[in-house]
Amino acid sequence: MSESSAEWPAVGLTLRVDGHEYPVPQVWIGDSLLAVLRERLDLDEPRDGCGVGECGACLVTLDGRPAAACLIPAVAAADRDVRTPQDAAFEIARDAVADAGASPCGFCAPALTVAITDLLRRTADPGPAAIREALAGIVCRCAESGRWIEAVARAKEAGIEDAGARPGPGDSGEMPMLVFEAGEPA
C-alpha cells in the first residue's frame, strides 16, 4: 500500500441520480455529494454556495427528503435515490419560480424548486408564514419573499399537491437541511 493511498483512501461507488445510475470508480471518502455531482458528474445543479450547509444552494433530495448536498458524504449517498433540481420531478416548481420572478439572478432557483416541491408535498395549502418558514434555509439576496409566496401559489395551482405523500419533518414546516446522521446506515 503506497503512502498516498493510506492518507487518501478512496472507494468506488454507484450513485443513482435523477433515475440514472452512475458508476464513480474513485471517490475520496471525504468527498461531499455536492463535489461528486458537480466535479465528477459535471452537473450544473445543485449550486455550490457556502459549502457548510447554511445557504441552501446545494439542496437535493436523498430518498425523497431534502438534504444539503455539501454536508452529505458521497459514500453515504451510494445506492440511494438522489434527485437534483434538474430532475423532471421538479419541473412544475422550476416553471413556477421562473414565472413568478422568484429568483431574479437565478442562483437560488434550483434550491427553491426542490424546497417548494417538498413543501407542497408535505402541506396542501401553506400560508405565507409557513412558506417563509419552510424556505428560510435558502439564502437569497435579490428576491423579495412575496415572489417566493407567488411561486408556491403558482406551483400549487399547476399541480404539486401530494400533501401526506410522505412524512414531513414535523408540524413546524421546517425544511430539513441534513438527512445523514451519525449512526444511520449509509
Q: Where are the domains of the chain?
A: 3-83, 88-158
8 vs 5, higher pLDDT: 8
Nearest to 137 by CA among 99, 108, 177, 173: 177
Look over the chain and give the mean of its residue pLDDT values, rounded to a whole number: 84
pLDDT of residue 38: 96
pLDDT in tens, 143-181: 877 899 999 999 999 998 654 444 444 434 444 443 333
**35 membership: H or E segment, kind and range:** helix 33-35
One DSSP character per residue, 95-159 reads HHHHHHT--SSSSSHHHHHHHHHHHHHH-SS--HHHHHHHTTTS--SS--HHHHHHHHHHHHHHT
Tell me which fold the domain 3-83 belongs to: Ubiquitin-like (UB roll) (3.10.20)
Same CATH fold, 88-158 and 3-83? no
Average pLDDT, integer, range 7-26: 92
Q: How far is CA 113 from the centre of its chain?
A: 9
165 vs 130: CA distance, rounded Å: 18
Helix (H) or strand (E) holding 60: strand 59-62
Average of per-residue pLDDT across 11-34? 95
Statement: residue 91 has pLDDT above 80: yes
Q: Given this model, what pLDDT does residue 142 score?
A: 87
Domain 88-158: give its CATH code.
Answer: 1.10.150
Best CA proximity match to 7, nearest among 40, 30, 37, 32: 30
Backbone dihedral angles phi then psi of residue 26, each to the nearest 5 degrees:
-130, 105
